[in-house]
């Protein structure tokens, strides 16, 4: 997702007018679930896209849903496939994600965002509704889940997952952006206070339970993780979310390391891409474009001790297999240590 938004009374308001078509088992929006038909387009830099990367891997959907990876930076026009030979996506045959949006609507007026799912035969974007994408991967795509895939969105827990995740989205996932893109001191102060009040509240919830909802990983944990893993490298300094580092909040730090060390989470994280995106693209926040060398991220491999709280990452399921689209080990110090 590019951070398109508007400033109302100098507060940041994210533009959430997405293409909301859904890919479903019954194809009611005209897009039936079909293995091999669609391509998930992401950037490893983006926390919203990172959710889809994690869910796809946990569920073992690699053979059913291919993935195109954009580079960490973009201009005002679009995310680009600059990591691919010739700067062209090998499946879609396009250099810019905007080409797929314009294939859907030649006059598409809004931001070109990731994640997006593209219909390969037509070359047109089906949806860029990041929240619905992961829920549908978990529910509508179940015929293509791997054996042993965890149930990330259990029917009996869906209401609780959404009730827990909604304030996390408002005050943490989007809250860091409200701090970073605040246009006034008053707006920043309010967003900062809401962010850390919510982090403290979530910390209290996780003090006696291993996961946010239930006794194994769910969609709620995926949504929180992708913000927490970016907190110290980016949000603490770049977005002025600097009351405390994640590594100075004991419960949340242990919780985040627990997830990071779980197959499907940390092995999707490209810290180099994350830092390059925020520090290079957000020139209004970081005019020089200088990317900091720190912090030292090797501490993500430190023991977390969360096993004592019970539960298990995958419930009755099993871990995902080997990574099919690996992160460059030099971009993740934990992976680098074991390469």
Binding residues: 79
Cα–Cα separations (whole angstroms), residue 155 to 24, 198, 302: 17, 26, 34
Closest CA to 152 of 247, 233, 259, 63: 259
- The string of DSSP codes covering 61-81 is -TTTSEEEEE-S-B-SS-BB-
Residue of 38, 46, 153, 192 marked active site? 46
Asked if 46 is an active-site residue, the reply is yes
How far apart, in whole angstroms, are the C-alpha atoms of residue 47 and residue 250? 22
Asked if 177 is an active-site residue, the reply is yes
CA triple 255-261-265, angle to 5 deg: 90
How far apart, in whole angstroms, are the C-alpha atoms of residue 28 and residue 306? 42
Structure tokens at 128: 């860029």
Burial readout 250-272 (b: 16 or more C-beta within 10 A, e: otherwise) = ebbbbbbbbbbbbbbbbbbbbbb
Q: Determine how many CB atoms are found less than 10 A away from the CB of residue 204.
A: 10
Residue of 18, 177, 255, 279 marked active site? 177
Using the structure block, give the residue that is written with the tokens 């239930």.
214
Please give the annotated binding residues for glutathione, written as ranges.
79
Structure tokens at 165: 């995740």
How far apart, in whole angstroms, are the C-alpha atoms of residue 121 and residue 101? 14
Q: Determine how many CB atoms are found less than 10 A away from the CB of residue 329.
A: 13
Instruction: Kindly list the catalytic residues.
Output: 46, 177
């Amino acid at each position: 997702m590019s951070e398109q938004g508007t400033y109302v009374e100098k507060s940041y308001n994210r533009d959430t007018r997405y293409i909301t078509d859904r890919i479903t088992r019954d194809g009611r929006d005209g897009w039936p679930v079909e293995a091999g038909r669609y391509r998930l387009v992401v950037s490893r830099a983006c926390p919203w896209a990172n959710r889809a990367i994690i869910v796809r891997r946990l569920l073992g959907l690699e053979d059913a849903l291919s993935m195109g990876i954009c580079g960490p930076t973009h201009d005002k026009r679009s995310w680009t496939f600059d990591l691919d030979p010739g700067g062209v996506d090998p499946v879609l045959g396009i250099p810019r994600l905007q080409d797929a949006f314009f294939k859907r609507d030649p006059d598409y007026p809004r931001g070109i965002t990731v994640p997006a799912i593209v219909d390969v035969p037509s070359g047109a974007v089906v949806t860029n509704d990041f929240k619905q994408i992961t829920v549908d991967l978990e529910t509508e795509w179940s015929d293509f889940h791997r054996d042993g895939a965890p149930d990330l969105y259990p029917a009996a827990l869906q209401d609780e997952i959404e009730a827990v995740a909604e304030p996390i989205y408002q005050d943490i996932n989007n809250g860091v952006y409200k701090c970073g893109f605040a246009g006034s001191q008053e707006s920043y102060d309010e967003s900062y206070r809401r962010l850390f009040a919510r982090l403290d509240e979530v910390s209290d919830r996780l003090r006696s339970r291993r996961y946010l909802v239930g006794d194994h990983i769910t969609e709620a944990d995926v949504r929180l993780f992708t913000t927490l893993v970016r907190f110290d490298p980016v949000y603490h300094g770049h977005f002025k979310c600097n009351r405390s580092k994640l590594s100075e909040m004991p419960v949340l730090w242990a919780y985040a390391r627990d997830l990071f060390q779980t197959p499907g989470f940390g092995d999707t994280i490209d810290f180099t891409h994350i830092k390059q995106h925020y520090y290079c693209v957000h020139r209004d926040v970081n005019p020089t474009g200088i990317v900091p060398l720190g912090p030292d991220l090797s501490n993500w491999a430190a023991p977390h001790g969360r096993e004592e709280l019970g539960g298990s990452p995958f419930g009755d399921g099993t871990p995902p297999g080997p990574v099919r689209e690996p992160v460059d080990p030099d971009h993740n110090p934990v992976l680098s240590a074991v390469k």
